[in-house]
Structure formats: C-alpha cells, structure tokens
Chains A and B, each alone.
Chain A
Amino acid sequence: MSVFKDAGHLFRFAGLFVLAFIVFWAIRGYVVPKSFGQYGHYRGNAIGEIAARSVHFAGHDTCETCHTDVLDVKKNGKHAHVNCEACHGALAKHADDPASVTPPKLDTAVLCVRCHATTAAKPKGFPQVSAEEHSTGLPCETCHQPHSPAMVAGGAK
C-alpha cells in the first residue's frame, strides 16, 4: 500500500496525461470535418466543392448549338478541329447571356502568327509563314477566311 502512497505523485502526473488526452479527444471529435474519411484520408466534401467551381470556357459543343452557320464553314476546312475558344477566348459569360455579353473583336495580325509564324522549333508538317515575306503586311483575312483558311482563289479544299 505504501508503495502506492509514495508513488502518488506519479499518478498525479499520469492523471494530467489522461486529462489532456480526454480534452484532446473531445476537441478532435468537434473539430474534424464530418466528411473527413468518407473516401480516404481527406475531407470528402472537398471533391464536391472543387467540382462546383464555375467554368470560363463554355466548350465548343455549347458554341455550336447556336453558331451552326460557322460550324458549316469550319467543318470542311483546315480549321475544323480548332475549337472556337482557341481563338475567340473564354466565352462562358457570352453563352450565359448572349444578348449583353459580346465576344471581343479579334486581331488576326496577332492571332494568326501565334500559331503560324515560322520557327525551326515547330513540327515540320505544320503550315508556317514569315509574315513580312508572306503578305508584305496585308491583314491575313484579305486572302484567308479564318474559319476555313485555304485560299478561295487557289480553290478551297
């Protein structure tokens, strides 16, 4: 018995530990998000929250539901596989509200060379031109329709 009496202070120290553990466990139960561990060691609801972020690019399917006329021009041309927003930019806002949000006017001088300027680094089969030599400064759309850029004079493919 006296061993326990003389070791009493140790039990007090141990008691502190137990108390701290109980407090910790109680706080833990309160603080840890409810969906934690739903799919793995993370907050399950985070997946839904991330999925719920809004989009900026509407996607070409959305564009094509209205702009069927452009699709008709595009579909047989060289740019058939180029999605609308690759050139026109992100336009989900326009798709939401086509009446009040209008797409910005595009500058072909910037836009066309972004892809088609000559450089040794591009894949060899990709059509490339040096703008000054090719058109002597004329705007690209003088000869090329961007939605189907093969030259009409040369016989559109």
Chain B
Amino acid sequence: MSGVEGFMYPNEIELHWSVLIVLYPYITGLVAGAFILASLERVFNVEAVKPTYRLALLTALSFLLVAPLPLQLHLGHPERSPEMYFTPHSTSAMAMFGYVYLWYLMAVLVFEIWLDYRRDIVLLSQKTKGMTRWIYTIMTLGSSNISKRSLHIDERVGWVVTLVGIPSAFLLHGYVGFIFGSIKANPWWSSPLMPVVFIFSAMVSGIAGVMVIYMATTKLRGRKIDMRCVDTIAMYLFYTFIIDFSLEMLDLIHRIYEADESFRSLDFMVHSKLFFSQIVLQIGLGTLVPLILLGLTQVAKLPELARKRIYSFAGALTLIGIFAMRWNVVIGGQLFSKSFLGYTTYKMSLVTKEGLIVAVGLTLLPLGILWVLVKLLPPWPEDHATQGAAAD
C-alpha cells in the first residue's frame, strides 16, 4: 500500500477523520473564544473592548451556525444525524456535544444577541419596509415593548445569560477536547489536559479572530480603529496565549519525560510527518512568533502604525497556528499505527465531499453569514453608543 511506512493494522491505512474534522474544533473554538471576549465587557466590565462586544457576539453566532456542517458532511449517513438528539448515548462525548451545542446556540448566543438587539429590532421593524420589515417583525416575537423598564430587565437578564454563557462556552469547547482526550486507545489524544488545552487555544483563536475581523471591518468601512480597544484585546490575547502555550508545553514535556510505550512512535512522527505542521507552523510561526511580537508591544512603546501592523500580523499567524494545532491533533492522531510500528499518510482530496474545496468553503461560509448578520443587525460602535445611552 502506498503511503505506509512500517506496519499498520490493515484497517488503519485509510484515515477516517478528514480535514473537515479539523475544521470542526477550529470553528467551535473560534465561537467559544469570541464569546469569552464579548463576556469581558459584559461581566468583567472591561470598558475598552466595548466596540467589539456586538461584533464578537455576531462572529460567535455565525461560526456556531457553521460548526456542525463539517461534522454533518463527514457522516456516512447525514440523514440519520437527528438520532443524536432522539437517542443520545449518555456515555458518548459526541452525543452530549449535540445537546451542549443546542443549549449554547439557543439559550446563550441567540438569546443574548436578541436581548441586546431587541431595542434596535423593534425600532427597525417600525422604520423599515417590505421584506426586511417582516424579518424584523418576526424577530420581535410580536412584542414591541421597549419601555425603560423592559430594557432594564433585558440588561439584567442579559448579564445573567452571559454569566451562564461563560461556563457554557467552556463546556462547549471542553467537550470538543474531551471527544479526543477521552480516547484511551489513542495515546496522541488520550490526556486529561486535552479539554483544558482546547479551551485556552479556543480563547486564543477567538480573541485573535475578533481582533482581526474588527480591524479589517473598521478599515473597510473607512473608520478609525479604536486603539485603546485593540491594545486591550492584544493584551488579553498575549496573556491567554501564554497560558495556552504553557499548557501545551506541559503536555509535551510530560510526554517526553514519561516516555511511555507510545513515545518512540509519536516522537518519530513529530520529527517526520508532522514536522512542518507541528514544529514549524504550530509552535514556531503560529505560537512563538506571535508571542514575541505581542510581547514586544507589551514592553516597548511602539507607534500606533507599528502596533496595528503587529496586531494584524500576529493575529493572522495565531489563527494559522491554532488551525495547525487542530490539524496536528486530528490528523496526527491517525497517522501512526496503534501497534506503534508504522505510519500512514493523509492525502487530502480536492473536490470530494471531504475535500479541500469544501473545507475552504466551510471556512469562508461563517464570514458570509457574518456579513448578512452585520447587515441585519449593525454592530458598529457609533450605533451602539446611542443604544447604550438609551438603555442606561
């Protein structure tokens, strides 16, 4: 068989989890991270990041809507996927993920966005005409009550929802980590640190994602980037990244030191098949370079333009690095034989159901959804300021 070195169990030669399963934790991570950034403003009263609050929520929603698609496309029988809700197996992390996902989508994100935008929605449903009026009217759920008192109630309930949302976001992505971390058959995955590493890398990617999207959209709209805001986001990104990197290194050092039966096999894999994606992309370009750059902005007083460039560059590298991390977990975990005697190769196809084009499409789709959401529910700070004033 081509692409096999050494010995694989014969059924292991073909990989069963493709690039789509790489996308799934990546996208889910962006959701969790974006939400946690939004909650900074709401729960922890970090005023500086307020301009990104609504954008972060909408980003989280658009990515969350796409999150199950790669899973769905990957299934042999997508039409049977409702079984996961009808007869969820209580011992399966994947089944429980379905419920956590629904909870997070409906009870946290949609609800919070609805509460936050309710005043706008009601006003828009009165101002607009035709189709859009209909859409807004449906979104009001037939209640046009925007009295001071009702908005005050929304504010309080929204706060509670965000408070509930933070552990929910942790749960959502922790579960994704648990899906991998709980597989005792696979030493590359099996680790209690996996959910924790997934949560922190999710925060890193989500914060970087919102930062990049905020800077890009502000630039595209010809507005001025709020430097106090991006400076604060970059600071949070830096510190979260340090925690994330420490956890990943802890996992790595632990593996190297323990050197259990799987170590020789995994070590060889990291130095051969995963060298580029793990050492170069994930750790080098995707982690150390952004960390150094972001660290530089923390210790040195750099001019605004330099900071902007560093933030966009470091943000983009971070997003690539976290993607590489997901790749190394999902694909890396299937490249070695569970006999520890050989390695196989993953060949990504181009046009199939699980190919490169679909993967790229699924990565861009959330941005398309975000564009629609932004049109429907403008998140921009200038609109937000008036809304905030009215709500207070």
Contacts and interface: CB of A to CB of B under 8 A. Distances in A.
By size class, the interface of chain B is: 20 to 34
A48 to B, nearest CB: 19
A31 B86 contact: yes
A17 B140 CA distance: 15
Contact of B149 (A2, A27, A32): A2
Interface in A1-21: 2-3, 5-10, 12-13, 16-17
Nearest to A11: B143
Contacts of A8: 143, 145, 150
B305 interface: no
A9 B86 contact: no
Nearest to B118: A9
A25 B157 CA distance: 28
A6 B89 contact: no
A36 B88 CA distance: 12
Contacts of A3: 149, 153
A5 B146 CA distance: 11
B167 to A, nearest CB: 20
B111 A13 contact: yes
Given A7-B153, A32-B87, A17 B106 contact: yes
A130 B73 CA distance: 54
Contacts of B90: 41
A6 B153 contact: yes
B85 interface: yes
A37 to B, nearest CB: 8
A53 interface: no
Nearest to B143: A9
A41 B89 contact: yes
B153 A41 contact: no
Nearest to B114: A13
Contacts of A16: 141
Contacts, number: 43
A25 to B, nearest CB: 10
Contact of A12 (B89, B106, B107, B143): B143
Contacts of A7: 150, 153
Interface in B318-359: none
A31 B80 CA distance: 11
B147 interface: yes
B142 interface: yes
B82 interface: yes
Interface string A18-39: 0000001001100110001000
Nearest to B106: A17
B141 A12 contact: yes
A148 B89 CA distance: 55
Contacts of A5: 145
Interface in B65-103: 82, 85-87, 89-90
Given A17-B106, A32-B87, A10 B82 contact: no
A6 B144 CA distance: 10
Contacts of B111: 13
A2 B82 CA distance: 41
A9 B141 contact: yes
Nearest to B148: A6
Given A5-B145, A31-B82, A41-B89, 16 more contacts: A6-B147, A6-B150, A7-B153, A8-B145, A8-B150, A9-B118, A9-B141, A9-B150, A10-B153, A12-B143, A13-B111, A16-B141, A17-B106, A27-B86, A36-B87, A41-B90
27 contacts: A3-B149, A3-B153, A5-B145, A6-B145, A6-B149, A6-B153, A7-B150, A7-B153, A8-B143, A9-B140, A9-B143, A9-B145, A9-B150, A10-B153, A10-B157, A12-B142, A12-B143, A13-B111, A13-B114, A13-B141, A17-B106, A17-B107, A24-B85, A27-B86, A28-B85, A28-B86, A31-B82
Interface of A: 2-3, 5-10, 12-13, 16-17, 24, 27-28, 31-32, 36, 41
Q: List the 5 closest A-B pairs by CB distance, nearest first.
A: A9-B143, A6-B150, A12-B141, A6-B149, A28-B86
